Amino acid sequence: ANAAWTAAIRFTARAAKQHPSEVWQQAAAIAESALGKGLASQGLVDAGRIALTASLERAPSSDAYESLTTIDVQTARFKDAQRWAAAGIALLTDATAGDRYRRAKLERLAADALRQAGKQRESAARYLDSLRSWASLGETKELPRGIAAERLLESGRAMWWIGDHARAIDLITKAVDFDATASTSSGAVAFLIETERYRDALDVYYRGL
């Protein structure tokens, strides 16, 4: 990954000299963000955070902000997580479905950070914001299958933390029934284990199989 990153930087630097454009800076940022996500996924959290932060200095992206927010929620850096989420949300508008999709994910992550920091009222408001953003994407039948399943799963997570457990389990189960890919199934099982719903986790596991 580091070798590929070095090659990408050399290429974009050379291309920027030959054909000046902001696109090369953005391409370098995307490459560095990908490196950071890869490092973090392998347990090299500090190195991943450094690469992701550096990518933002090249060109801000909601993807990098989402990754940093996720890392800091998982490592109990809740203030930093809220800061990254707020910065990422500030980049987005309601003009496109893509922006609303990214906003929904960042709002849920921001809610997670607030909840784990003990700010229950603020987190509930953020979870509701996330649910509204997911709802704004339109009818399920009009969405790509993977995104439709992600909306069900993410909405289930939000519903759980605002207290509607029955509805949450229903949405999470429907997500796996709708798209039993490894990412959807593993995400659903992991969340149900986290919330100590072990029988439901087993049920979803077998549904995924």
| Spatial distance between the Cα atoms of 83 and 98, rounded to a whole number of angstroms | 21
Residues ≥6 apart with Cβ < 8 Å to 91: 60, 61, 62, 65
What secondary structure letter does DSSP report for 26?
H
| Spatial distance between the Cα atoms of 28 and 58, rounded to a whole number of angstroms | 7
User: What does the pLDDT average to over 64-86?
Assistant: 94
- Which whole-number Å values give the CA distances from 130 to 50, 125, 174, in the listed order? 28, 9, 19
pLDDT tier for residue 9 given thresholds of 50, 70 and 90: confident
Predicted TM-score (pTM) of this structure:
0.87
Task: Please give the backbone phi and psi of residue 138, each rounded to the nearest 5 degrees, phi first.
Answer: 105, -165
pLDDT tier for residue 4 given thresholds of 50, 70 and 90: confident
CB-based contact 146:181 (threshold 8 Å): yes
pLDDT (0 to 100) of residue 180: 83
| Spatial distance between the Cα atoms of 138 and 152, rounded to a whole number of angstroms | 13
The neighbour count for residue 130, using CB atoms within 10 Å, is 24
Identity at 94, one-letter amino acid code? D
Give yes or no for residue 93 having a pLDDT over 90.
Answer: no
3-state secondary structure 56-117: HHHCCCHHHHHHHHHHHHHCCCHHHHHHHHHHHHHCCCCCCHHHHHHHHHHHHHHHHHHHHC
Give yes or no for residue 102 having a pLDDT over 80.
Answer: yes
CB-based contact 143:152 (threshold 8 Å): no
pLDDT (0 to 100) of residue 183: 87
User: What does the pLDDT average to over 189-200?
Assistant: 95
Give yes or no for residue 5 having a pLDDT over 80.
Answer: no
pLDDT tier for residue 15 given thresholds of 50, 70 and 90: confident
> For 125-175, what is each residue's pLDDT tens digit?
999 999 999 999 988 888 899 999 999 999 999 999 999 999 999 999 999
Per-residue tokens: 98? 């893509």
Percentage of residues of the chain with pLDDT beyond 90: 63
